[in-house]
């Protein structure tokens, strides 16, 4: 998951994360692929900050700890999925996994990754992965005034070390604003 805004009540859970993990688990169980473990890692306390960059920094540290745990569990293939500031979490995990055991195959999936101010995530995310993919959509809330300063959104755009897919047009609730050209 990503950054939790501190001006809203502290989140007790991340329901969509539970739904995602449940869906992936059910998908793997139905064809009898029982050699997978699906875990929704929740780092709510450290994602609850005033600045999204702080949440990303905390996420990277949490991810490194999770990476150590994954290596200790003896997995040969790991697929990490991160949303928003969770991208820093999965990158921290991938970095630690590869540092401790370079033979573990790591697949990273980034969902609207939070790139951080200055966009360091654009070149960092996906490094140390054997395969990385990124799915992003235009998001006005994190646009970083992109239309005025010609910079991409902080949760939008291609990563240097991933296969990238723009899924903006797949959002059925999105609406277009016609403009005179």
Residue 104 and residue 77 in contact, taking contact as beta carbons nearer than 8 Å: yes
pLDDT below 70 — which residues of the chain?
1-6, 10-11, 32, 34, 139-152, 173-181
In the prediction, which pLDDT does 88 show? 95
Position 158 scores a pLDDT of 86
So what's the pLDDT on residue 42?
81
Closest CA to 25 of 40, 13, 14: 40
Q: What is the pLDDT of residue 123?
A: 96
The pLDDT, as a whole number, for residue 20 is: 86
* Residue 142 DSSP symbol: G
- Name the pTM for this structure: 0.83
Tokens of 13: 């859970």
């Amino acid at each position: 998951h990503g950054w939790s805004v501190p001006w809203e009540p502290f989140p007790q859970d991340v329901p969509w994360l539970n739904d995602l993990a449940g869906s992936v688990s059910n998908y793997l169980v139905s064809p009898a692929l029982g050699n997978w473990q699906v875990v929704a890692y929740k780092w709510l306390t450290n994602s609850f900050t005033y600045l999204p960059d702080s949440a990303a920094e905390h996420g990277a540290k949490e991810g490194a700890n999770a990476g150590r745990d994954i290596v200790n569990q003896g997995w040969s293939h790991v697929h990490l999925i991160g949303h928003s500031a969770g991208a820093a979490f999965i990158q921290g995990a991938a970095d630690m996994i590869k540092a401790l055991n370079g033979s573990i195959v790591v697949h990273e999936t980034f969902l609207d990754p939070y790139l951080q101010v200055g966009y360091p995530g654009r070149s960092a995310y996906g490094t140390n992965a054997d395969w990385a993919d990124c799915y992003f959509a235009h998001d006005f809330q994190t646009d970083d005034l992109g239309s005025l300063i010609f910079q991409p959104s902080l949760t939008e755009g291609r990563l240097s070390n991933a296969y990238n897919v723009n899924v903006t047009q797949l959002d059925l609730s999105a609406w277009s604003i016609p403009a005179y050209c």
